[in-house]
Structure 1
Amino acid sequence: MQEINYIFDNISGPSYDRPYNLEALGPWSESIAKELAAKEDIKLTPAHFEVIDALRNHYQEFGIETNARALLKRMEVEFADLGGKKYLYDLFPRGPVNQACRIAGLPLPPHSSDPAFGSAM
């Protein structure tokens, strides 16, 4: 898998791609996440940040996931004790892949166009 930090190290300063994901991981902060979430009518709680932190840690450790289905499955397993997919959709009603990645400042996995993932644009 590609190293995400390698991909983003050569991008200067925070900028936004078309769906408003931060292109660089470095300048992301909780205040930026709160601004992005507010645009989506979400008030972030510690539970939201737990999911966001898990996503960011996953991207930093493994790089960009191969597809949305694989990422959603990993998230379901990680949050199974709290309710899995239902829990994730309760927090991010427009999709735990699309909406959570966007708020986390992360790029969507390639070919993420299935509305079931909340990633159709």
Structure 2
Amino acid sequence: MPVTTLAGHTIHVDDEGFLTDPSEWDDELASVLAAQVGLTLTDEHRAVLEFLRADFHQRGETPTLRRASAGSGVPVKELFRLFPQKPAKKMAYVAGLPKPVGCV
């Protein structure tokens, strides 16, 4: 399991750069991860990330795009605006969660 350092945070990641230990994540790291995928976090982003992490903690798996939309109350179209191109993958990456099952 590779280890890397981002903005002073030593984190364990998989081959694609997704955190393998969600407990290593914090809000500061979220901003760094977001910048790596071309995003600047707003309160809207942070609300979605908060839902994703709570859902992961409860269910033990990264939410799909549909579950993220339904659970957070943010329409899928809005998730595409907040996290362009591959929203489920980007949301999981920035939230410090494993890549969702079924994402390529």
TM-score normalized by structure 1?
Answer: 0.70
Partner Cα distance (1:47, 1:75) in 2: 13
1:2-81 residue pairs with structure 2 within 5 A?
14-65=11-62, 71-80=64-73
The one-letter code of the counterpart of 1:17 is D
Deviations 1:52-109, CA, capped at 9 Å, x for gaps: 11111111000115xxxx72111222344x5x01111110003221000001110012
| SS of residue in 2 equivalent to 1:14 | strand
Task: Give the count of matched residue pairs.
Answer: 95
Please list every run of 5 or more consecutive structure 2 residues that lacks an aligned counterpart in the other structure. Answer: 1-9
Residue equivalent to 1:108? 99
Partner Cα distance (1:79, 1:57) in 2: 10
Please list every run of 5 or more consecutive structure 1 residues that lacks an aligned counterpart in the other structure. Answer: 1-12, 114-121
Structure ID, larger Rg: 1
What's the RMSD between the two structures over aligned residues? Answer: 1.7
Q: 2:82 aligns with which of 86, 91, 97?
A: 91
Q: Which runs of 4+ in 1 moved over 2 A?
A: none
The one-letter code of the counterpart of 1:52 is L
| SS of residue in 2 equivalent to 1:112 | coil
Matched-pair identity in %:
28
The one-letter code of the counterpart of 2:81 is D
